[in-house]
C-alpha cells in the first residue's frame, strides 16, 4: 500500500472515529437529560434545562472526538512515513 493510500484511509478512519465518539457521548448526555427530567417530574429532583445538560456533553464530545481522531491521524501518519 502506498503512503498516499495510507493517508487517504487514515483521513476516512479519523473522520469516522470522530463521528462515532461524538455521537456516543452526545447520546449519553441526552440519556442523562431524560433521566434528570424524569426524576424532577417524579418529585425527586430539580428541573434542568436541556442547555444545562447538553452543552457540557457536546463540549466533551467534540473534545474527545478530536482526541480520538488525532490518535488515528498520528498512527496513520507514522505508518505512511514508514512506507515512504
Tens-of-pLDDT digits for all 84 residues of the chain? 899 999 999 999 999 999 999 999 999 999 999 999 999 999 999 999 999 999 999 999 999 999 999 999 999 999 999 987
- Report the alpha-carbon distance of residue 79 to residue 37 in Å, rounded: 47
DSSP 49: -
Number of domains in the chain: 1
pLDDT at 16: 98
| Strand segments (E) across the chain | none
- Which residues span the domain enclosing 9? 3-83
Predicted confidence (pLDDT) per residue in 53-73, tens digit = 999 999 999 999 999 999 999
Q: What is the pTM of this model?
A: 0.88
Contact 51, 29 (CB under 8 A): no
Separation in Å, CA 82 to CA 8, 59, 76: 15, 35, 10
Amino acid at each position: 500500500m502506498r503512503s498516499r493510500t495510507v493517508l487517504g484511509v487514515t483521513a476516512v478512519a479519523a473522520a469516522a472515529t470522530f463521528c462515532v465518539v461524538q455521537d456516543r457521548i452526545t447520546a449519553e448526555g441526552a440519556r442523562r437529560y431524560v433521566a434528570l427530567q424524569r426524576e424532577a417530574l417524579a418529585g425527586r429532583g430539580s428541573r434542568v434545562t436541556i442547555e444545562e445538560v447538553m452543552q457540557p456533553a457536546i463540549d466533551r464530545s467534540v473534545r474527545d472526538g478530536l482526541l480520538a481522531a488525532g490518535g488515528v491521524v498520528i498512527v496513520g501518519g507514522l505508518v505512511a512515513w514508514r512506507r515512504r
